[in-house]
Each structure stands twice: as structure tokens, then as C-alpha cells.
């Protein structure tokens, strides 16, 4: 099984303006990226062109030569993008997904991936969102993890259990 790490929407405005725990999520995602690169696992970056006012990838992250960068226009990173082709062209059949926003882009992309033939590992502690509708962000993350864990071809595990080999 060939794995890729898919990092979704780690963008300046989302992290700096909407994330209640930026240091935690940045640290975990940074560690996943470093571990994937060390193991020779492809890293694919996804950003949302609709993020404002600053849609750029957070400067803590650098796309290295050979890593794909897919720009999306909606929550599902597969919809109207080259993501499936980028992954398929690398022979990938398993995705490890992390990033933002748990209840929107993460959930939609995880739900869509199996229809494109991908097994999914959602890193339960490497995605985040913000408080809304009277629910704290931790509650939203827990709900998303629980709902996605029951889907066929999707597993949800903690970052320390991710093995890139």
C-alpha cells in the first residue's frame, strides 16, 4: 500500500484568525510532515482559494520541490481539482489526512476519498476547527472523529500511531 500525507488548508488566515489552538495543531502537523518526508512518503498540500484575507500557506510550512500543491474552491478537496490525479500519478492508495477545518473541508474530503479508490486514515488529533453554534471546538472535533470512524475505508487514529513505512 502506497501512502501520501494530505495537508489541508494550513493557511495564514485560518490559523491566525480562526484557530483557538494554533500552536498545538501547527506542532502536530509539522511533525507529521517531517515524518512523512523522512520516510519518503509524498506530501500533498491543499489550500482553499476562498480563504480571506490571507489565503497563503502558513510560513511555518514550506512546499518542497516535487510536492504537489492543489488549490480548491470548495470544501471537498477532490471536487473540480487535480487531487485524485496527483495522488494516482504517485501510485497512492492510502491517504493520511490532517489540517483544517474539521467540520467542513476535512469531513468532506474524508467522505469523498473512498469514492476515488483511496483508503483513509484521519489523524484524530491533527485537525481542528473553531467554536460555533454553541459548541466548543473540541466537541466539534470529537463529533467529526466519531462520525468518520464508522465509514467504510476510513480509520481514525492518533498522530503517535501513524507509521509512514
pLDDT on residue 40? 97
pLDDT on residue 16? 93
26 contacts 64 by C-beta, under 8 angstroms? no
CA distances for 6 relative to 67, 72, 132, 134, angstroms: 10, 13, 25, 30
Q: Which structural domain range is residue 14 located in?
A: 3-161
pLDDT on residue 165? 74
Total domains, the chain = 1
- What's the CATH code of the domain at 116? 3.40.50.850
Active site residue 98: no
pLDDT on residue 53? 96
Whether residue 46 is preceded by a cis peptide bond, meaning omega within 30 degrees of 0, is: no
Low-confidence ranges of the chain (pLDDT < 50): none
pLDDT on residue 156? 98
Q: Which of 5, 6, 92, 105 is catalytic?
A: 105
Amino acid at each position: 500500500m502506497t501512502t501520501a500525507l494530505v495537508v489541508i488548508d494550513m493557511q495564514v488566515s485560518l490559523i491566525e484568525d480562526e484557530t483557538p489552538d494554533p500552536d498545538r495543531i501547527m506542532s502536530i502537523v509539522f511533525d507529521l510532515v517531517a515524518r512523512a518526508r523522512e520516510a519518503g512518503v509524498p506530501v500533498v498540500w491543499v489550500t482553499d482559494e476562498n480563504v480571506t484575507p490571507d489565503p497563503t500557506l502558513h510560513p511555518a510550512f514550506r512546499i518542497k520541490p516535487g510536492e504537489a500543491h492543489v488549490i480548491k474552491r470548495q470544501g471537498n478537496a477532490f471536487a473540480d481539482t487535480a487531487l485524485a490525479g496527483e495522488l494516482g500519478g504517485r501510485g497512492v492508495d492510502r491517504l493520511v489526512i490532517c489540517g483544517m477545518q474539521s467540520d467542513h473541508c476535512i469531513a468532506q474530503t474524508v467522505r469523498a476519498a473512498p469514492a476515488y479508490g483511496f483508503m483513509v486514515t484521519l489523524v484524530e488529533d491533527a485537525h481542528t476547527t473553531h467554536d460555533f453554534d454553541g459548541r466548543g471546538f473540541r466537541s466539534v472535533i470529537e463529533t467529526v472523529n466519531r462520525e468518520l470512524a464508522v465509514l467504510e475505508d476510513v480509520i481514525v487514529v492518533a498522530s503517535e500511531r501513524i507509521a509512514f513505512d
